Amino acid sequence: MHNIKDLRKNLETYKKKFKDRNIDFNSNNFNKIDKINRELIAKKEKLENEKKSLSKKKDKLNFDKSKDISNEIEKILESQKKTQKELNSIIEVLPNIPHQDVPVGKSEKENKLIKKVGTIKSFNFTTKSHVELGVKNNNIDFETATKLSGSRFVVLRDKFALLERALINFMLDIHVNQFKYTEISPPLIVNEDVMYGTGQLPKFREDQFEIKFENSTQKKFLIPTAEVVLTNLVRKSNIDIKDLPQRFVASTPCFRKEAGSYGKDTKGMIRQHQFYKVELVSIVDPKNCILELDRMLSCAEEILIKLEIPYQVVLLSSGDMGFSAEKTFDIEAWIPSEKKYREISSCSSCGTFQGRRMGAKYKSQNGNEFVGTLNGSGLAVGRLMISLLENNQNEDGSISIPNNLKKYMNNLDKI
RNA sequence: GGAGAGGUGGCCGAGUGGUUGAAGGCGCACGCUUGGAAAGCGUGUAAACGGGAAACUGUUUCGAGGGUUCGAAUCCCUCUCUCUCCGCCA
């Protein structure tokens, strides 16, 4: 969410920045409605002032007049509410403004490669995809999952289920012990305003799983990422600046409808309706956002380094970034079966965009300011598993366990 | 699910129709005092939105929304959340 005063003042700059994000912002329309809205407010307040002074006199002779004013106010208020609503619906779907570091571009084609890390293994046999590696003992079982839940779900069995759990614990331990994130076990179902706070609503409602509670008028949602709950931990609060930064990590299932991605990544575990993800969130003094983003990125990278999985880091262009982000790094892990890098983490600074939506502030000398927020996967468990399985496969179809992971895998060398 | 109690400022807490944005306290900030600190004393201390270059100023806000009234923190309705007791239950 943007500061409306700032938006009003720098309308054309904003318009240009939105264009970099492929958003056509109708600034004339905004201007028009904003103006009407403010006029109505001014008119209303003038009448309210009149009414107030009449009421203070407690003079019976003025009661009728006061009543008239009340009626007039009510009329104005009604149309003011309408324009306010209209104005809000324009503003709340406007994405964040790209940071100056972000390359301008229409799509992922303009993303900037930052670095490649690790060496891609050359196999002296024909490699298998994770699906082929998993179907062997039914350890990756899509058939049963389809019976239970439909497409884009999976059942993991035996050592593969263990591997998933091992990866989660491995990552959590690193982020908690080495990088001092606070571990959180959050709810997976949240209220509508929480989804609004991080920017999933109102624009991306069709991507969310909505839940209906009996006898409740309130809408609830399954979280599409732990970013939603972790970031909103500070919603509507006023934090002392000395208590910043705050860093949270959680492993949670994530639920996504994947609407609009029919036919995309249909084979395998790349794109599921439900998957585990270890998520990192930082709440910071806004001026430290970009610095914190670098730190967060290196926390996520550490996982791949320790597991010896080759990866590359990409700085997203303005056209490829998510709604709330001002700057985003993607980490992409090497997937041998596809002979390409695939996104395994996305680390974003959101500036004060979410802080403003959530009403999360901190106390500083200049008064109360909105906090900066960052989120990043550290990492997506399903995709990490895919890349680990494929990169560490042996000719016989077994998978070697990386040294650093062994203690989480009951000291197995291979599975 | 049944019965009850309650949501007031950063926090605690008074307040049942009329200068109440809201007593009192805690906390915080500044000043005085002190060799220094503590205590003490004094002063100040909400946010959002509108207008203004600024000083400043207007309006709103006592869980949320609606209603009654010339006037609502205070009365009525709906919703929501928290707490206590009972029931059920992982």
- Looking at this predicted complex, what is its ipTM? 0.81
Mean residue pLDDT of chain A comes to 91
* pLDDT tens-digit readout, A90-115: 888 999 999 999 999 999 999 999 99
CB of A56 nearer than 7 A to strand B: yes
Q: What is the pLDDT of residue A366?
A: 66
Q: Taking 90 as the threshold, does the pLDDT of residue A71 lie above it?
A: no
Beta bridge mates, A252: A277
* pLDDT tens-digit readout, A355-405: 888 888 887 766 678 889 999 999 999 999 999 999 999 999 999 999 999
Q: How far is the CA of A57 from the C1' of B20 (A)?
A: 17
CB of A41 nearer than 7 A to strand B: yes
> Which CATH architecture describes the domain A4-91?
Orthogonal Bundle (1.10)
* pLDDT tens-digit readout, A25-50: 998 999 888 988 888 888 888 888 88
* pLDDT tens-digit readout, A247-295: 999 999 999 998 877 777 888 899 999 999 999 999 998 889 999 999 9
Contact A78, A103 (CB under 8 A): no
Between residues A122 and A67, the one the model is more confident about: A122
Nucleotide nearest A57, from its CA to each C1': B18
The candidate with the shortest Cα–Cα distance to A371, out of A380, A360, A382, is A360
Where on strand B do bases come within 7 A of a protein Cβ?
A: 1, 10, 18-19, 46-51, 58-60, 69-71, 79-81
Residues 345-374 of A with CB under 7 A from strand B: 367-368
Q: Taking 90 as the threshold, does the pLDDT of residue A147 lie above it?
A: yes
The candidate with the shortest Cα–Cα distance to A309, out of A330, A329, A334, is A334
Q: How far is the CA of A354 from the C1' of B28 (A)?
A: 28
Contact A313, A297 (CB under 8 A): yes
Nucleotide nearest A214, from its CA to each C1': B1
CB of A84 nearer than 7 A to strand B: no
Please report, for chain A, the start and end positions of each structural domain, with discontinuous segments joined by +.
4-91, 108-409
Quick one: A108-409 is in which CATH superfamily?
Answer: Bira Bifunctional Protein; Domain 2 (3.30.930.10)
Nucleotide nearest A54, from its CA to each C1': B70
